[in-house]
Amino acid sequence: MTTRIMDKKETLIFNKVVIEGFPSIEQVVEKMHQKMYNDKKGLGFTNITIEDNMVFATILLRTPSYIRSYNEKEGVFEQQVVNIYGDFEIAVDIEHGLIFCTSSSTKFSRAKNLLRDCFEKKISFQNIEMTAVNMLNIIQCQGMTPYIMDLSIKRYRCQEGAIGRCSVHIEDSSVGEELLLKYSDSINKITFLVKSEIYPDFVLSIASQNSFTIKCDENFYWQIINQLKKNL
């Protein structure tokens, strides 16, 4: 398809998830409903829905913040607690055994701890090796064509006895593929321009374990995500 405006940009964090007993999606939702938000714990679900055979849940998180104020009458400093509330969404894909969200890794960890409480620790999570080579293979296996746009190499050998970090913009795809093969174990970040006959062009960046950043046409965002996660 032709290039469109890439007006949607998100970083998604993924984990593999295994729940003992292989419960149905309705059973998963029933368990999650047992951990709805209450102010005593300061963590819990506020909304749980099933869409496209996936569970989407909003988690409300209370974080205490401490403010130091001065009591002029008493002539002393006092510490006041102010609670800050924030929410974020997670998605659980039972069919493909995945959990993912667009929040920080810290919030993602809180979500996993909450799910451990839901399932009484009969749930486990595993990292996903999102290396440059793995993602290249995933994209190609799904009939799409990736072109390397940018590369960041941790240990680039510019000449004998000289090694350092190197970030390059790739203008010739074959050069990018050569560098990827040569430094596959030392890629710090890689960015692909992905072309497909089904979706408009989109950009995919991989910089760390378990996550990638996508920039695409917002109308095709979920279609592309659903396609990519099939082979994670």
Return the closest-CA partner of residue 105 out of 177, 12, 168, 171: 12
pLDDT value, residue 3: 62
pLDDT value, residue 74: 84
Tokens of 57: 């849940």
pLDDT value, residue 194: 95
Put residue 52 in one of left, alpha, beta given phi > 0 → left and psi -120 to 50 → alpha.
Answer: left
pLDDT value, residue 32: 95
Tokens of 30: 């029933």
Give the lowest-confidence range in 156-160, 171-175, 221-225: 156-160
pLDDT value, residue 163: 84
pLDDT value, residue 203: 96
**Confidence at 2, pLDDT banded by 50, 70, 90:** low
* pLDDT surpasses 80 at 64: yes
In this prediction, residues 163-179 reach a mean pLDDT of 89
In this prediction, residues 96-109 reach a mean pLDDT of 93
Question: In terms of residues, how long is the chain?
Answer: 232
In this prediction, residues 186-196 reach a mean pLDDT of 93
pTM summary value:
0.83
> In whole angstroms, what is the distance from residue 191 CA to residue 204 CA?
6
Q: Contact, 139 vs 204, CB < 8 A?
A: yes
Q: Contact, 28 vs 55, CB < 8 A?
A: yes
* pLDDT surpasses 70 at 14: yes
pLDDT value, residue 222: 92
Model confidence over 200-211: pLDDT tens digits? 999 999 987 889
Percent of the chain with pLDDT over 90: 59
**Confidence at 173, pLDDT banded by 50, 70, 90:** confident
> In whole angstroms, what is the distance from residue 123 CA to residue 79 CA?
40
